[in-house]
Structure 1
Amino acid sequence: MRILQAVALTVVLGGGLLGGGVAQAAPPPSSSPDVTRGPCAYEKTPDEPAARPVRLPADPRHTPDRGHPEVLLSTNQGPIPLVLDRAQAPCTVQSFLHLVQRKFYDETTCHRLTAYPTLKVLQCGDPSNTGEGGPGYRYRDELPTDLAPAPNDPTGQRRVYPRGTLAMANAGPDTNGSQFFLVTSDSVLRPNYTVFGRITPEGLATLDRVAAGGVAPNPDSAVDGRPALTTDIARAKRVG
């Protein structure tokens, strides 16, 4: 389903351009039952069915854009509390909370750990545990504009996603779904990934343990693959 989503971060690291660097305008409202009618225009993806059945999120005329809802990821490696930012990415937060409420992330596994020198993240959010699964819908980017330029970048196009950043994985422009990544150390990427919150210090302590365990042995890479310390999300719950 989302093969590119599963390798998106590596492609960017390797210099390939995956997605545009400018947020796309919201599509016009649609009367189709496969597209919500609000400004987020969540759109069903029939060719990429949901890894776990879930309906389209609510899409009010005015998407909530104030506040910092809190979500707790309870994992077998320890708690990962998250603080979301509605002002920074209202449609993304709306979708993420919808999936949390519908238990989409419960009993799932974080399927990917990267440990490159300039890219260290844990990727989660796919109930199929393949790196290809999603919620059966997609929505537009809400790309960051305030990230610091990457040092020593001759292209001038890469930015620093700071340690503790919570961001969406994608397979190209406006293909956000359910997969997200947690930045364990400052990472260099093109600004093509929506930032929608942060990880608390307690959550970073859990992630540090996972990162210290390294990548599970695999024939393709010693620095990109499943985490050696299997990280299962038992439950995702809104707590604030």
Structure 2
Amino acid sequence: MASSRDRQRKLARAKLDRQMARRAAATRRRRQIQAGVGAFLVLAVIVAGSAWALGAFDSDPKKDTAAGDTCLWTPQDASANTNLKDVGTPATKDLPTDGTRAMTVTTNQGAPITAELNLANSPCAAASIAHLSSRSFYDNTKCHEITADGALRCGDPSGTGLGGPTYSFYDEDVPTVPSASPSATPAPGQPPTYPKGTVAMISNPPGANGSQFLIFFKDFTTTDPKYPVIGKVTGGLDVVEKIGAQPTVDNGTGAKVKPKTDVVIQSLTVGEPVTGAAPATSGAPATSPSAG
């Protein structure tokens, strides 16, 4: 007959076997659950990836306002620069990006100066000038500088070179030129970077364009272009050439760049877009006779 001690050992052994069996069963269940969760996660990733590829997570076009924006207008602080004038900002979307718009600058120097703004290459510059002209921003302002590069500088109501609207926009169509020679001079036979009659934006600092623009009255060639081109003169270039031939006087800062005779923009207007119209070609544009 088994002793009492043997029976205790058998009972203890059976208890241990039951505990080990329960632990093994629990481990199997845990592994099964983990495997199921893993499979679910893999399936979820596959489904999510397929949905993403098919565009299921694309933002609602009605809510994604930036997607349809043509231009971005960066606010400028008028309290930091009192030369700025607040006339609102142009629209950001649904702006014309094809064809041309006619710009007419009427001054006190003779016949109007007309130009074509290139909507394909410079839609934001054209939109900005059209907006400003609709607010009479340019009317009764002076072209305050004849630049050393051979251009008439206009579009700053303050006449300081620091004025403009309370927004700015980025460069669009800055010319590209061949690599500069070691002497940093243009390559022989290189066509002018800014042919006579070119209309371009100018800003300080570069890349923060506002309202100021240049009208070149002679060819200008450079290895470091900074002015984004916005169009070409189509009439009245002789008026610009006459202004460019004026002597210059001190503009109040010690720089002799101001035309001796005030050049006043009496009005600046921009016409409606002409879709599909070819921009004016490069080279010397058409001229119109001066009225005085």
Matched, 1:40 2:71: yes
Distance 1:208 1:228 in 2: 15
Residue ranges of structure 1 left out of the alignment (5+ in a row) = 1-30
| CA displacement at 1:88 relative to structure 2 | 1.3
Task: Answer yes or no: is the 8 Å Cα contact 2:150–2:218 preserved in 1.
Answer: yes
Distance 2:88 2:254 in 1: 36
Task: Answer yes or no: is the 8 Å Cα contact 1:143–1:191 preserved in 2.
Answer: no
Q: Name the amino acid aligned to 1:43.
A: T
Partner of 1:136: 166
Q: Give deviations 1:60-111, integer Å, cap 9, x for gaps.
A: 0x53211111111110002111211001111111111111111110010000
| CA displacement at 1:174 relative to structure 2 | 2.6
Q: 1:226 to 1:123 in 2, by over 3 A?
A: same
1:50-129 equivalences under 5 Å are 51-60=84-93, 62-78=94-110, 79-114=112-147, 116=148, 119-129=149-159
Task: Answer yes or no: is the 8 Å Cα contact 2:150–2:217 preserved in 1.
Answer: yes
Residue ranges of structure 2 left out of the alignment (5+ in a row) = 1-62, 273-292
More helix by share: 2
Task: Answer yes or no: is the 8 Å Cα contact 2:95–2:123 preserved in 1.
Answer: yes
Q: Name the amino acid aligned to 1:168.
A: M
Q: Give deviations 1:105-159, integer Å, cap 9, x for gaps.
A: 0010000012x4xx101100011122211101111111334x5559978337896
Partner of 2:270: 238
Q: Name the amino acid aligned to 2:159.
A: N
Report % sequence identity.
33
| CA displacement at 1:55 relative to structure 2 | 0.2
1:138-153 equivalences under 5 Å are 138-145=168-175, 149=178
Q: Name the amino acid aligned to 2:167.
A: Y
Partner of 2:226: 192
Match among 201, 214, 224 for residue 181 of structure 1? 214
**Residue aligned with 2:162, SS:** coil
Partner of 1:209: 242
Partner of 2:259: 227
Distance 1:150 1:198 in 2: 25
More strand by share: 1
| CA displacement at 1:239 relative to structure 2 | 4.1
Partner of 1:4: none
Distance 1:163 1:151 in 2: 22
Bigger Rg, structure 1 or 2: 2
Q: Name the amino acid aligned to 1:94.
A: A
Partner of 1:5: none
User: When the two structures are superposed, what TM-score results if normalisation uses the length of structure 1?
Assistant: 0.73
**Residue aligned with 2:239, SS:** helix
Q: 1:87 to 1:157 in 2, by over 3 A?
A: farther
| CA displacement at 1:203 relative to structure 2 | 2.0
Partner of 2:14: none
Distance 1:76 1:52 in 2: 23
- Tell me the C-alpha RMSD between the 2 structures: 2.8
Aligned length: 198
**Residue aligned with 1:209, SS:** helix
Task: Answer yes or no: is the 8 Å Cα contact 1:107–1:232 preserved in 2.
Answer: yes
Q: Name the amino acid aligned to 2:72.
A: A
Q: Name the amino acid aligned to 1:234.
A: Q
| CA displacement at 1:164 relative to structure 2 | 0.4
